[in-house]
Structure 1
Amino acid sequence: MGGKILKYFAGGNTAKGFYSLYDTNLVDLERVFILSGKSKNEKTNIINHFIKKWKDLDYPMEIFYRASNPEHVEGLIIRNLNFAIVDGDYPREIGKEQVGAQWETIDLDQSDRTARLDGELNEVTDLKLKIQQSYLNAYNSYQTGLKVHDEWERIYIDHMNFDLADKVATSLIAALFKKAIPVTHKDSIIRRRFLGAATPIGPVDFVDNITEGLSTRYFLKGRAGTGKSTLLKKVAAEAERNGYDIEIYHCGFDPNSLDMIVVRELGWAVFDSTSPHEYFPEKTGDEVIDMYELTVAPGTDEAFAEEIANIEARYHEQMKLGKFYLAEAKKYEDELEEIYCKVSDHSQTNLMIDELDHLLVNQSNQL
């Protein structure tokens, strides 16, 4: 049977700034190669080399993508080989919680490339400042959007029946764990990720990929503030109490909220299935839980229609601004990459790839 590729984001552009969730996915891996260097494209090309090579050998792998350019990868994990290779440059936080004995940083700029930039140093400095400002503007837009979103949530929170919400959670947890046997011989392994991200081309998600092969999927519907994230936190807590390994997917807009819980040992996922990652049942085992219909006073939408429309318009305006600034940052980053490409030493990069290939083949032979 061929290996499966799991796709996700390990870092995202959020209302809290760039938010890093790399370490929980790298923890306990023996060999982690952390790439450092000016060129993002060079790092992506190196990671793609290993993806192609080991994909052809049918190894299950995890690939995480760049929120700054979702067509490009920024990391690869092959757990069967206890191996990862990842872009480790700022703003990512890698090795903050753990650094294994065989974790290694690889500096792709070992020789001083700036010496070969000649008259372009001023342009490089200017582009870096523009990139920094564009990201700051994007994060400010998302932060403003989150405050508007809080207004949106308040309408529904004020008209929500919390006793009914508790009953929905109790019923769902009973269904999820009705055939489960608690795992008492180990602690849960918890991986924290993003199922989607704000990107220069708009929201991108990997819901279909992440939930592929699961027998049961619960689609949480409902308005802002109707308890979807709270319900997911309760599901995660119950899974941890029972000793199951958990994939926790945080909200790519507000990382303090949750978007999905997956327990592969039990074959299910529960996820927020509202915009910008709205999905609908399409196969046996799919089920909708509508928190608005089940827990909010009837007629709330109609009673506050004018106020909701105003809030929604202001919210979407901030989301559009955020996307604009991310696209602006990418434009400047692309210009910077063109400059770095002129001084890239591909022969040195190829030698480094050959060396890593040799190390990884040796590691695979020892397993």
Structure 2
Amino acid sequence: MNGNVTYYYGHALTGQGIKHLYKEMMDEAELVYILQGAPTFKGSELLKELGYFYVKQGFAVEWYKHALLEDIVEAVYVQGCNRLFVWSSGWGIEPVFLGTKHRVMSFYDCLEEIQLERVGEQLATAMTERESWREKCISKLNNAKKIHDDWEVVTQSCMNWQALNDQVENLKTDVFQSIVLNKTGVRTHRLLGTLTPRGTENTVDSITKNVSRRLMIKGKPGTGKSSLMKGLADEANARGLDAQIIWCGLDSNSVDMVIIPELNFCIFDSTEPHIFDPQDGRLGDEIFDIGKHCAISQEAEVQIEDIRAKYKEAMQDAMGYSKRYAEAEYTIRRLLDNCVSSSLWREKTAPLFERLTK
């Protein structure tokens, strides 16, 4: 019987820089394969092969997608045996527990020096361009986040916070009832989505495909969505329940979803840029409306319209830069792929699959 695949983004382009959660996932995993090497399309294909290897054995596998290149996988996490395979170039990941849970494989020796010398200048140019477009993209996202912060200040001044607190306390009673488990609740971390060259994208449908009860928060920016979800995660852990935090792809400090696996429950921000509504025939889908506690005045609405236009413009600029960033990334991988020795690659990767069967 085959397993299944759940998709996440491996990293996100945020207003604070590029965010990934691989170090947290390394803590979560029981065994980590750190695959070191230059960024190539062949590395992604290897990770896909590893993912399919476990799916065919009946495991649930998580694939971590690249923010820029649509079909690229940069890591695979195998649930059940808790194994993480991550292509570490670019993330500053180093092994800590050598000889125990961390295993390192280097693929740099699969590159042919003669081929590298032939494309060296092209590669250097593409690397420089990639860095330039990355910086411009992140700068625009930082600007967009600051504009979004201004938006939040306006809406926060219009909130009835006591009414929201009462609603959240009622939600906690509804979700947790009298449940207390005699164990320590575990917290894990994932990303919801990111800006891509195609616009903002997320994997909500994949992440929540097996969750029975989904609460979709409706509310304006700055009205407490992230805070209430953090509070629910804290409450779950205090009761001995596990909680998975799914982080925002624009503001790296903001939470967009919380999953409580033992209750088969999740709650997530379903406002722009990831609008979701209850699906027909999916009985566990509900709206959790906190927008009713925010009474926007006419003056505030005028301010918001101006802010919204500036925010949209900043995000469009960031997306434009992300396209150029992606083009440079594609060029680098194409050039390096042509420098990989196929025979050395086969020799290097074959024992990996052999070890996994033992």
Which bin holds the TM-score, normalised by the shorter protein? over 0.9
- CA deviations 1:265-317 (Å, max 9, x no partner) are 10100000011111001121211112111x112xx164433221111111011
1:139 aligned residue = 138
Q: What secondary structure sits across from 1:169 in the alignment? A: helix
1:365 aligned residue = none
**Mapped pair 1:154 → 2:145:** no
Q: 1:239 to 1:358 in 2, by over 3 A?
A: same
In structure 2, list runs of 5 or more residues that go unmatched. Answer: none
What are the equivalent positions in structure 2 for 1:320-359 lying under 5 Å apart? Answer: 320-359=316-355
- CA deviations 1:90-111 (Å, max 9, x no partner) are 2x24358877723122211125
1:201 aligned residue = 198
The one-letter code of the counterpart of 1:48 is: K
Q: 2:9 and 2:335 mapped to 1: Cα distance?
A: 27
Q: 2:97 and 2:16 mapped to 1: Cα distance?
A: 23
Deviation (angstroms), 1:24: 2.2
Determine what percentage of the aligned residue pairs are the same residue: 25
Q: Does structure 1 conserve the Cα–Cα contact (< 8 Å) formed by 2:34 and 2:95? A: no
2:117 aligned residue = 118
Deviation (angstroms), 1:344: 1.1
Q: 2:155 and 2:29 mapped to 1: Cα distance?
A: 43
Q: 1:19 to 1:97 in 2, by over 3 A?
A: farther
1:8 aligned residue = 8
- CA deviations 1:75-134 (Å, max 9, x no partner) are 1111323422111112x2435887772312221112564443334322211110110010
Query: How many matched pairs?
Result: 356
The one-letter code of the counterpart of 1:323 is: M
Q: 1:2 to 1:124 in 2, by over 3 A?
A: closer
Q: 1:333 and 1:162 mapped to 2: Cα distance?
A: 45
Q: 2:45 and 2:290 mapped to 1: Cα distance?
A: 44
Deviation (angstroms), 1:209: 1.2
Q: 2:234 and 2:28 mapped to 1: Cα distance?
A: 22
The one-letter code of the counterpart of 1:181 is: I
What are the equivalent positions in structure 2 for 1:202-351 lying under 5 Å apart? Answer: 202-282=199-279, 283-293=282-292, 295-297=293-295, 300=296, 302-351=298-347
Q: What TM-score do the two structures reach when normalised by structure 2?
A: 0.94
The one-letter code of the counterpart of 1:198 is: L
Q: Does structure 1 conserve the Cα–Cα contact (< 8 Å) formed by 2:40 and 2:336? A: no
The one-letter code of the counterpart of 2:180 is: P
Deviation (angstroms), 1:329: 1.0
Deviation (angstroms), 1:233: 1.0
Q: What secondary structure sits across from 1:253 in the alignment? A: coil
Q: Does structure 1 conserve the Cα–Cα contact (< 8 Å) formed by 2:40 and 2:334? A: no
1:34 aligned residue = 34
Q: 1:140 and 1:190 mapped to 2: Cα distance?
A: 31
Q: 2:176 and 2:204 mapped to 1: Cα distance?
A: 22
2:45 aligned residue = 45
Q: 1:232 and 1:281 mapped to 2: Cα distance?
A: 19
Deviation (angstroms), 1:176: 1.0
Q: 2:45 and 2:93 mapped to 1: Cα distance?
A: 20
1:84 aligned residue = 84
Could you tell me which of 176, 180, 183 is aligned with 2:181? 183
What are the equivalent positions in structure 2 for 1:61-80 lying under 5 Å apart? Answer: 61-80=61-80
- Across the aligned residues of Structure 1 and Structure 2, the Cα RMSD in angstroms comes to 1.9
- CA deviations 1:127-164 (Å, max 9, x no partner) are 10110010110110010001100111111101111111
Q: 2:98 and 2:139 mapped to 1: Cα distance?
A: 32
Structure 1 residues 117-126 or 309-318, which shifts more? 117-126
The one-letter code of the counterpart of 1:270 is: I
Q: What TM-score do the two structures reach when normalised by structure 1?
A: 0.92
2:127 aligned residue = 128
1:54 aligned residue = 54
The one-letter code of the counterpart of 2:44 is: T
Q: 1:120 to 1:93 in 2, by over 3 A?
A: closer
Q: 1:99 to 1:326 in 2, by over 3 A?
A: farther
Q: What secondary structure sits across from 1:94 in the alignment? A: coil
Q: What secondary structure sits across from 2:277 in the alignment? A: coil
Q: What secondary structure sits across from 1:12 in the alignment? A: strand
Q: Does structure 1 conserve the Cα–Cα contact (< 8 Å) formed by 2:15 and 2:139? A: yes
Q: 2:353 and 2:297 mapped to 1: Cα distance?
A: 58
Structure 1 residues 206-215 or 110-119, which shifts more? 110-119
The one-letter code of the counterpart of 1:289 is: F
